[in-house]
Homo-oligomer: A and B are copies of this chain.
Amino acid sequence: MGRAAPDPQSAAQIVATAPAGAWVAIAPDDLLIMDLAPAPDGAHHRPAPAGAPRRVVIQLIAEPLARPWVANVRRLAAAHWWDGTSVNRVQDNYVAQWGDATERKPLPAQLNATSAGDYTVNSAALPGAERTPGPADVYAPATFFYRGWPIGAEGQGEGTAWPVHCYGMVGVGRNVSPDAGTGAELYAVIGHAPRHLDRNNALVGRVIEGIEHLSSLPRGTVGLGFYAQAAQRVPIARIRLARELPPAEQPAFAYLSTRSASWARYAAARANRRDSFFVQPAGAVDICNLPVPIRRVR
């Protein structure tokens, strides 16, 4: 990318002017809506005044990635299992993590068993027509985007493939292996891409709106960023699949097709920024510095 003449448009302009056909609607069933308790009192949070809603929208990852966990997440949301749980851990430059702090809340019946074998898929399960080559990478021999998701892969994109831990990605907390987590304990990446977690934790989605409600939470002060006191935990009012919301509240989003010409131009412009601000275009971009553009449709 970037060998051709510089694009006259910046990456932001390319996204803003991408044709309607370059956008892919995100299925309502792939949207998870997480409402934290409204913002507490406190001048600290002036941009979100006391009582303001704190809604985080998560897009579930495309099939067949992380299939057993994604199915569990849908069941947990349908069972309203997370309602009344909390964000329990916020570790700076790492993750915000939520779930049942007591670790005693009974799980819904019929959750899938999970295992480390499903952290990866065979690349053959990701149709070539849905893939676009991604940039060179330090961690994975190959990268590509699959239906808008950043993927690392072995070989030339054959062999195993796995989603990668970029900012905003949502993963599954677990205990020591062979435990692979159920999906009841989730985390969002709020720092530099922790790529060492790739193939060590399942990734079930990404935050597409409202990540600031997680990333700007106070950091926990005991080991791994857990809150020292129960009162410091941030209450979760509810987590729902979007279709459970009243129709007027159901948001709609689209992502920029990673198969579109606009995407190719966007990726080239991110690697070779020529906005008036830049003196020295990088000539390269890492996969986590190439976020897939998402827009709110409604």
Contacts and interface: CB of A to CB of B under 8 A. Distances in A.
5 contacts: A47-B228, A167-B192, A195-B282, A196-B289, A199-B279
A70 to B, nearest CB: 20
Contact of A196 (B47, B217, B273): B273
A66 interface: no
Contact of A42 (B41, B168, B288): B41
Interface stretch (A15-23, A130-138, A245-253): A130-138
Contact of A286 (B90, B139, B280): B139
A232 B46 contact: yes
Contacts of A215: 92-93, 215-216, 219
Contacts of A278: 196, 200
B282 A196 contact: yes
A44 B47 contact: no
A221 to B, nearest CB: 5
Interface in A268-298: 270, 273, 276-286, 288-289
A209 B4 CA distance: 44
Interface in A126-159: 135-139
A220 interface: yes
A115 to B, nearest CB: 10
B47 A177 contact: no
Contacts of A176: 276-277
A191 interface: yes
A249 to B, nearest CB: 21
Interface in A224-256: 227-229, 231-232
Interface residues of A, number: 63
A109 interface: no
A45 interface: yes
A279 B195 CA distance: 13
Nearest to A281: B196
Contacts of A200: 277-280
A48 interface: yes
B137 A138 contact: yes
B220 A191 contact: no
